Amino acid sequence: MSDEPKATGKAGGGRTGLRRLIPTWRWVLGGSMIALVLGCGVLVAGYLLVSIPPANKAAAAQTNVYLYSDGSQIARDGEVNRENITLAQVPKSVQEAVLAAEDREFYQESAIDPKAMLRAGWNMVTGGGKQSGSTITQQYVKNYYLSQDQTLTRKAKEFFIALKLDNEVSKSDILEGYLNTSYFGRNAYGIQAAAQAYYGKDIDEISTSEGAYLAALVNSPNAYDTQAHPENRKRAVARWHYVLDGMVKKGWITRSERDGMKFPEPDRAKPSTGMSGQRGYLVEAVKNYLINNEIIDERRLAAGGFRITTTLDPKRQKAMREAVDDRLMSKLDKDRKVDKYVRAGGTSVDPKTGKIVAMYGGIDYTEQYVNNATRRDYQVGSTFKPFIFTSALANDSKTQDGRSITASTVYDGTNKREVVSDGNGTDYAPENEDDKSYGQIPVSQAMNKSVNSVFAQMGVDVGPKKVKRTAIDLGLPKETPNMPEDGSIALGVATASTTDMAEAYATLANHGKRGHYSLVEKATHGGEVIELPDRDVSEQVERSAADSTTAVLRKVVQGGTGTAAQSAGRPAAGKTGTAEEDKAAWFAGYTPELATVISVMGQNSETGVQKPLYGAAGVERVNGGGFPAEIWGDYTKAALEGEPVRDFDLKTDGDADIPGTAPPSDAPSAPPTEGDGTSEPPPTGPTTPPTDPGTPSIPPTGPPTDSPTLPTGGQVGGDTGGPGGGPGGESGGEVEGNNGWNGGNTTGQPASAARMREVREGDTGS
């Protein structure tokens, strides 16, 4: 037995295995201390090295240059509208409104808010969207000393300058500078210019309520101008409420004062005369395109210095303006009251490239500020009906008795025919034009004559959700107002713009293929080339469905309600439409080369209220087959002058008969008698209605046996699954839901009431 001692080692001996890879507490503590010292060193060095610079030249905004596609100039903007004032001139309540909107702890907090900065950065990294992490001090530094560029270098400078400024300048001076440099929209820099731009008075005359609206604008001037964008009014009012609620929370106003305030509608804008004619509309549309597609930040664009080449073709732009002037504006009489309400809008798209080549916004930007080509507050009427037919084909939909829906499928076109769903009545019985009944009628002829009872039933056969999905696939924005997932969608209660509709019809013209539509060809800022969205073309609707719709719409132009469009002298497809009470008339059509939508609208210039157009320009009613189709024909003829005549290349898979290909030789002298929607037949006498060459499917002889389930929006109305739908329980109400069958966001119209109306108000979707 050995006498040598055994090696036992010391307590806590050497680290072995994976333990050797785990740092000890000494290493962790030491590393943390080193990082802390280095971090403090960086902060100290940054604070010492970064000085407060002189005012940035960009604080006085530069000029943006807007060009046509050929390089010729549309307009320049960027004249600075700014009047600096002292903080004492700004009412205390207005100062507090701005603080409530942008930085409620301004007087108590540091110049920077690390938590807000980290939260904003996290949201951007995780896809939560852009969010400001800046205090008022940081925003002022960015506005006055630096630039709007989104770079790490600029953000670092902003951080250190804000800290230094907070130590060397009073909070009151910082707030004064902030109020004088912030952009409020309407080319107004500073709160004094904003007070004049929105309310026509100096800032010291602005009330608390008005000040809250001006404060709301700082967050998003483009979105919250209720005069330029009436469709965004709810968002603007919500932001105004947010500001006032913040003032109550801080104790700056009482709850009773806040409850007594009404939303202060701003005045109409008074644009620069340099934006007269069509120029202002085009510049506004381009700005919105850049901002809404997140190509250029709104404040950076307002700071100027951009050279923007648009997709707009000066030849086609001129052709559209002349067509509107010749066919419509020249016929208006200043002594005829209703003629003062007449507005027109139009958009033209190249289906192959997705480029918007022409746009008509109104008679003059300095007189009519709202762009009629991009506004979304007029019903599109029967121009929506082709989307229902396309959806039926794309989804292989069937009628209530199990027949496949094609152009030759026969429907019951009886006036006020009750729509049936799942074998049950719905109390929804839409009127046809002039209460006319058509009996058993093929879909193609129902499209020609714009028979509401047919397409109301077809919308339910397909399913409102599927119809809406197809409309979006074709090109209507998801956020299109009044596009409900219930039966009313079939009659065109949606309020899309002419630009939205032109893009959707361009998809039909391009055989169901769609990509990103563009209004800007190129944008530069000094040596920087701005990145633009890719086209990314893909098939959104199968070709046979799109081409079959085109085949049906060819017949509308050849012998239906759109014969006035034959003046283009080319193969064309299109659809007429008239909004409820004759407040708007539409023609949406296309050739293989161009998709163009024209709308004539009625609006009181003083009140902004939509007005009926009965008697306008000396005609009994303004309908889609009249002025809009005539404008479309003249424009298309001029826009394509010198280009070879091309016919449609259609592959319908038997879902529609391809009509004759010979282009018309003469334009009709008057629109046809078969009105669209609420349109009255012209006084020139009837024309022979078209006949459908296809063999109709056998109409049903008994009650439906196999029907689709009604969507959750309710039989006659109600939000999808939402409360307040009336007595209908889970399906959203039978009559008085928020999305009624007969009118989008209005109360549904029971069949009994529809039959008893003594005065016909017109159909919502015609």
Report which of residues 183 and 695 the model is more confident about: 183
Question: Contact 573/532 with Cβ under 8 angstroms?
Answer: no
**pLDDT value of residue 237:** 96
Query: Cα dihedral sign for 722, 727, 730, 736?
Result: negative
Query: 398 phi and psi, to 5 degrees?
Result: -125, 160
Coil/strand/helix, residue 299: helix
To which H or E segment does residue 425 belong? strand 424-425
pLDDT band at 137 (very low <50, low <70, confident <90, very high): confident
Q: Residue 403 carries which side chain, given as an amino acid letter?
A: R
In terms of average pLDDT, the best of 16-25, 32-41, 534-543 is 534-543
The predicted pLDDT at position 694 comes to 36
Which position has the higher pLDDT, 724 or 454?
Answer: 454
CA distances from 445 to 344, 410, 625, 738, 766 (A): 29, 10, 16, 33, 15
Lowest mean pLDDT among 5-19, 259-273, 696-710: 696-710
The pLDDT value given to residue 368: 87
Per-residue confidence (pLDDT) for residue 15, from 0 to 100: 55
Q: Is the pLDDT of residue 717 over 60?
A: no
Is the predicted pLDDT of residue 509 greater than 70, yes or no?
A: yes
Of residues 428, 408, 404, 409, the one with CA closest to residue 418: 428
Beta bridge partners of 732: none
Backbone angles phi, psi at 420, to 5 degrees: -110, 140
Angstrom distance (rounded) from CA 389 to CA 424:
23
DSSP 68-95: -TTS-EEEEE---EE----GGGS-HHHH
CATH number of 86-260: 1.10.3810.10
Higher-pLDDT residue of 379 and 760 is 379
What residues pair up with 603 in beta bridges, in sequence order? 610
Answer yes or no: are the C-beta atoms of 457 and 419 closer than 8 Å. yes
Q: In what order do the strands lie in the sheet with 342-349?
A: 356-360, 342-349, 595-602, 584-590, 573-578
Q: Kindly report the number of other CB atoms within 10 A of residue 360's CB atom.
A: 27
Taking residues 512-536, what's their average pLDDT?
A: 94
Taking the CB of residue 24, how many other CB atoms lie within 10 A of it?
Answer: 10
Average the pLDDT over 224-230 and give the result. Answer: 90
The answer on pLDDT for 648 being more than 90 is: yes
| CATH classification (class only), 381-494 | alpha beta
Span 310-321, pLDDT tens digits: 999 999 999 999
What residue ranges do the domains of the chain occupy? Answer: 86-260, 381-494
From 6-20, 209-223, 367-381, the region with the lowest mean pLDDT: 6-20
Which stretch of 7-16, 347-356, 423-432, 706-715 has the lowest confidence by average pLDDT?
706-715
Band (pLDDT 50/70/90 cuts) for residue 485 is very high
Q: Which residue in this structure is represented by tokens 């100027």?
A: 304
Q: What is the pLDDT of residues 280-294, one digit of tens each?
A: 999 999 999 999 999
Beta-carbon contacts of residue 89 (< 8 Å; ≥ 6 apart): 192, 203, 204
pTM to 2 decimals?
A: 0.71
Mean per-residue pLDDT for 460-464?
96
Gap between the Cα atoms of 112 and 332, Å rounded: 59
Whether the pLDDT of residue 569 is over 80: the answer is yes
pLDDT given for residue 704 in this prediction = 36
pLDDT of residue 577 exceeding 90: yes
Q: Per-residue pLDDT tens for 76-127?
A: 886 667 778 899 999 999 999 999 999 999 998 876 666 655 554 554 444 4
Tokens of 187: 């080319």
- Classify 559 in phi/psi space as left (phi over 0), alpha (psi -120 to 50) or beta: alpha
* 8 A C-beta contact, residue 664 and residue 566: yes
Reported confidence tier of residue 26, pLDDT bands at 50, 70, 90: low
The values of phi and psi at residue 82, to 5°, are -145, 140
Q: Which two tokens stand for residue 243?
A: 């500001």
What mean pLDDT comes out for the span 39-47? 51
Question: What percent of the chain lies above the pLDDT cut of 90?
Answer: 57
| pLDDT confidence of residue 261 | 97
Whether residue 430 is predicted with pLDDT greater than 70 in this model: the reply is yes
Q: CA 12 to CA 15: how far, in whole Å?
A: 8
> pLDDT value at position 174?
87
pLDDT at 743: 30
Give the separation between CA 664 and CA 652, rounded to whole angstroms: 23
Burial status of residue 722 (CB atoms within 10 A of its CB: 0-12, 13-18, 19 or more): middle
Among residues 599, 628, 579, the alpha carbon closest in space to that of 344 is found at 599
Q: What is the overall mean pLDDT for the chain?
A: 80
Which has the higher per-residue pLDDT, 515 or 272?
A: 515
**Residue 299: band (very low, low, confident or very high) from pLDDT cuts 50, 70, 90:** confident
Cα separation values, 383 from 485, 635, 722, Å: 18, 19, 29
